[in-house]
Amino acid sequence: MSSTPLEPGADSSLAGAPGDDRPGIRERAVVGVFWAAAQKWLVRISSLLAFVLLGRLLSPQEFGVVALAMAVITMLATISDAGFTPWVIQKRGLTPRAASTAFWISTAIGTVLAVALAALAVPVADLFDSPELRLVLPVLAGTLVIMGLSGVPAALLQRDLRFKELAVRQVVATVLSIVVAVGLALAGAGVWALVAQTVVRVVVACVILFWAGDFRPRLTFSRADAADMLGYGSKSLGVTLGGAARQSGEPFLVGAVLGTVALGYWTVAGRLASTVVDLCSAAIGSVAGPVFSELQDEPERLGRTFARLLSVGGFVLVPVMTAMALVSADLVPLLFGSQWAVSAGVASILAATWLFAGLANLQRNLLLGTGRAGRELTLTMGALVGQLGLVVLLGQWGLTAIAVGLSVWGGLVFAVRGAVIARDLGVGMSAYTQLLAVALAAGLAAGAVLAVVLGWDLEGAARLAVVALLGGAVFAGAAFLLARATVDDLRSSVLGVLARRRRRGAAAPGGGTVPR
């Protein structure tokens, strides 16, 4: 970048160079999506492969113990951020003093929470009747301090759309942590293999973050900046806490109602679905927040941009999650072994839950990016209460009943959030037209697959092949006819960025690329 976000009075929003800000916004957004997608694919695929291997080396009981511990860590890590990361990303005219203030607050909160968690390890372990947590929780508590150190520097890179540095950081940290975890599992370390994986990943990511980024905290603190952050950050923190509570509270309740073995099955099923969603949609979500913030004063452009991102995200996410629902019965035992057959049916149902969650992430970014954190907080809290209530209510009928209830609830929450967006921002049903067309194309593909699979009673590799070949062909044809605008938009966005970069390369001295 030509400037850093820490220059006095500097503003590293999405605006490009004077006279070229709009093309700069689109090009940098597309490039940002590319790097964010590369990170997600490399990290998630390598993590999934490690998860498969560790699933064969470790027991459901060991996975359940670490799942409980990580549920606590995830919640406390969100608190340590204090809601300031979104503020850093969106704040115009960010100063070094403000950035350093956010850094010291985040670090201090992470340290306090780490000490508190270590002190409460024994009562928490007794609460869940899991003695292993007495040692696991104090070790993992140390990662809260590291996460507190990392929050603001990572937010500054995201604010400046420097997703290349963020991608390298996550990939290297993930690969090293996997090597350590697999080595320890092979050596018989049991649950500590999973603990070490988390610790190594967090520490390595923090080291690389400070090495690659420009931010260096200053010994300064501003009460005025802290108050300004708190006004926005308290609501944003509430939204993030609500989302974290949904992810952490769900395994808590499943473990409490059905036990750690059932939680192990649930963790495998949910991990598979969440990994697929991250691979398909998280990259767009990472870039969407800064883009919506930049366009918040232009309602018409904002609505069109939201519709385009939603349709592009759905074009990838909807057919993939539909395919996952069709093949889970074969895929889960194939990847994890026959001992995880219980997770197969649950994963098939959870595909719908995670589909709505992936699409709702864009809705959430739209509300937060336009300053409506309070509105999103209300929606998040309502979704949280409903989700956790369903887990308790349906738990007596088992994991399948919980999965069905959460899928229905996810669809309802998505619809309600859409209605709120239409009322507050004027982004109505027209923004969802292409998404519905993509869903129809995926439905036609699923119908064709089921007709062949059920008619010929196919299983295993044969069913997987039918889903991939026949389902893919039918979806491609149907999408070309029904969602042509989305197909054309995808093509023009990619080709447009490539063409501009070629022109800049040709204009640069020596035919090289223009330095950024």
The pLDDT of residue 478 is above 80: yes
Nearest to 76 by CA among 102, 111, 113, 119: 113
**Least confident residue range of 237-251, 254-268, 443-457:** 237-251
pLDDT for 59 equals: 74
pLDDT of residue 405 exceeding 90, the answer is yes
Sequence-separated (6 or more) residues with CB below 8 Å from residue 31: 161, 163, 497
Closest CA to 422 of 459, 367, 483, 481: 367
CA–CA gap between residue 446 and residue 473 (Å, rounded) = 11
| 382 touches 301 (CB < 8 A) | no
Minimum mean pLDDT among 51-55, 166-170, 244-248, 423-427: which range? Answer: 244-248
Q: How far is 334 from 328, CA to CA, in rounded Å?
A: 9
pLDDT at 21: 40
375's CB contacts (< 8 A; 6+ apart) are 367, 420, 424
Is pLDDT of 170 > 80? yes
3-state SS, 275-314, equals HHHHHHHHHHHHHHHHHHHHCCCCHHHHHHHHHHHHHHHH
In Å, what is the CA distance from 356 to each residue of 34, 250, 314, 369?
A: 23, 17, 10, 20
Residue environment code for 1-10, b if the CB has 16+ CB neighbours within 10 A, otherwise e: eeeebbeeee
Instruction: Count how many Cα atoms sit within 13 Å of the Cα of residue 171 in the half-sphere of its side chain.
Output: 15
- pLDDT score recorded for residue 410: 94
**pLDDT number for residue 498:** 64
Residue 435 has pLDDT above 70, yes or no: yes
Kindly tell me if the per-residue pLDDT of 52 is higher than 50.
Answer: yes
CA distance readout (Å), 427 to 122, 239, 241, 255: 50, 21, 26, 40
Per-residue model confidence (pLDDT) at position 464: 87
Instruction: Name the DSSP letter for residue 515.
Output: P
Would the pLDDT of 14 be above 50? Answer: no
pLDDT in tens, 438-469: 999 999 999 999 999 888 888 888 888 999 99
When pLDDT is cut at 50, 70 and 90, the band that residue 27 belongs to is: low
Helical axes 223-258 vs 373-394, angle rounded to 10°: 10
pLDDT of residue 81: 64
d(CA 389, CA 144): 29
pLDDT band at 32 (very low <50, low <70, confident <90, very high): low
- What percentage of residues in the chain have a pLDDT greater than 70? 83
* DSSP assignment letter at 509: G
Q: What is the pTM of this model?
A: 0.70
pLDDT exceeds 80 at position 506: no
Residue 293: both structure tokens together: 């913030």
Query: What does 204-260 look like in DSSP terms, one character per residue?
Result: HHHHHHHHHS-----S---HHHHHHHHHHHHHHHHHHHHHHHHHHHHHHHHHHHH-H
Q: Between residues 212 and 6, which one has the greater pLDDT? A: 212
Q: What was the pLDDT predicted at 502?
A: 65
Question: Can you give the residue ranges of every domain in the chain?
Answer: 259-503
Q: What does the CA dihedral 472, 473, 477, 483 come to, rounded to 10 degrees?
A: 0
Mean pLDDT of 350-367: 91
Split at pLDDT 50, 70, 90, the class of 514 is very low
101, 222 contact by CB (below 8 A):
yes
pLDDT tens-digit series, residues 98-107? 888 888 888 8
Give the CA dihedral 478, 479, 485, 490, nearest 10 degrees.
Answer: -150
pLDDT digits (tens, 9 = 90+) for 190-243: 888 888 888 998 899 899 888 877 888 888 887 877 777 777 767 777 777 677
The helix (run of H) or strand (run of E) holding residue 106 is helix 96-119
Instruction: Give the mean pLDDT of 313-323.
Output: 91
Which is nearest to 68 in space by CA: 119, 113, 126? 126
pLDDT, greater one: 344 or 16: 344
Q: For the purposes of burial, counting CB atoms within 10 Å of the CB of 512, is it exposed (0-12), middle (13-18) or buried (19 or more)? A: exposed
CA geometry: angle at 228 spanning 225 and 230, to 5°?
A: 110
Q: Has residue 355 got a pLDDT over 80?
A: yes
Which of 58-62, 93-97, 164-168, 267-271 is predicted least confidently?
Answer: 58-62
Among 21-35, 122-136, 371-385, the least confident range: 21-35
Q: Tokens for 2, please give them.
A: 């030509």
Q: Which of 238-252, 318-332, 341-355, 450-464 has the lowest mean pLDDT?
A: 238-252
